[in-house]
Amino acid sequence: MHDSFVAVLSSGSCGNSTFVSASETSLLIDAGLSCRELERRLAIYGIEPQQIEGVLLTHEHTDHNRGARRFCKMHGVSLFGTAGTLALTPHEDVNSIVISDRESLAIGSISVRPFPVNHLAAEPVAFSLTLNGAKVSIASDLGCFTERVVREMKCSNLLMVEANYDEEMLRNGNYPGFLKRAIMSDHGHLSNYDAGNLCASTASDASKEIVLLHLSKDNNSSEVAKDAVCDSIGELMPRMSVVPVEHGLHAGPFKL
């Protein structure tokens, strides 16, 4: 029996996966690394793949589903995703379970609440999870945030939010114009500035920590992202800590 915690196995365009554990139930949110790399990073936290009850996919982009089929097949883990996500994710020989983008479900002792987001994918969602009385929200690949997103994320003890790019760095960077526009659009990724606004809109007395996800390798840095979010929440929540996850590295455990 151990306490509830969250560990980011990897975050960013090279692969996303987050491990969430309550006393007797463990889940992965996304499996965007190879099966072998997922196993290797779980081992850092002393976790056996067989302990995991389900992999929950946010959407079908490869940086989120790359290792899903192999990992689930090899270790007898169930794969959860919306109909749109599963339709575009290989899942032969895997126990796949379709979830709705607006109905809560229970997986073991974890209550999972998916909610729709604006990213350019078939049927993308973010998740709020409740475990042992604590709430964690994991919202990456957002494009923009809606009132619904703010509402779903309120009262989280741990807020995990995308902070993909610094606007100035992206504008002045080497990406072609069409790509810059796609990233900045309402169906692309969330800027540091927007991440700060989202955190300021959702953070409350319940919130202890903010973890920043999906930082761009080219158009962001940990310092720049952290500064932007701290600027937005500074006066509201002076004691709250903000932890940016370096592109491609693991981070945590974050206790709940």
Nearest to 243 by CA among 160, 169, 153: 160
Residue 81's alpha-carbon distances to 112, 220, 235, in angstroms, are: 12, 30, 38
Establish if 123 lies at the interface with Zn ion (CB under 5 A): no
Which stretch in 54-62, 103-111, 179-187, 190-198 sits in contact with Zn ion by CB under 5 A?
A: 54-62
CB nearer to Zn ion: give 49 or 124. Answer: 124
CB nearer to Zn ion: give 61 or 250. Answer: 61
Least Å distance between CB 77 and Zn ion? 21
Least Å distance between CB 124 and Zn ion? 7
CB nearer to Zn ion: give 62 or 132. Answer: 62
Q: Which are the contacts of 239, defined by CB distance < 8 A and separation ≥ 6?
A: none
Which stretch in 33-41, 43-51, 62-70, 239-247 sits in contact with Zn ion by CB under 5 A?
A: 62-70
Least Å distance between CB 105 and Zn ion? 23
Which stretch in 82-90, 138-146, 195-203, 248-256 sits in contact with Zn ion by CB under 5 A?
A: 138-146
Distance from C-alpha of 125 to C-alpha of 142, rounded to nearest angstrom = 9
How many of the chain's residues bind Zn ion (CB under 5 A)?
3
Which position's Cβ is nearest Zn ion?
A: 61
Distance from C-alpha of 162 to C-alpha of 195, rounded to nearest angstrom = 6
Q: What SS3 state is found at 38?
A: helix
Establish if 63 lies at the interface with Zn ion (CB under 5 A): yes
CB nearer to Zn ion: give 26 or 58. Answer: 58
Is the peptide bond between 253 and the residue preceding it cis, with omega within 30 degrees of 0?
A: yes
Distance from C-alpha of 38 to C-alpha of 34, rounded to nearest angstrom = 6
Q: Tell me how long the chain is.
A: 256
Distance from C-alpha of 91 to C-alpha of 98, rounded to nearest angstrom = 12
Establish if 61 lies at the interface with Zn ion (CB under 5 A): yes
CB nearer to Zn ion: give 61 or 135. Answer: 61
Q: Give the sheet arrangement for strand 251-255, strand by strand.
A: 96-99, 78-82, 52-56, 26-29, 17-21, 5-10, 251-255
Least Å distance between CB 165 and Zn ion? 12
Among 141, 152, 162, 194, binds Zn ion (CB under 5 A): 141
Residues that bind Zn ion (CB under 5 A): 61, 63, 141
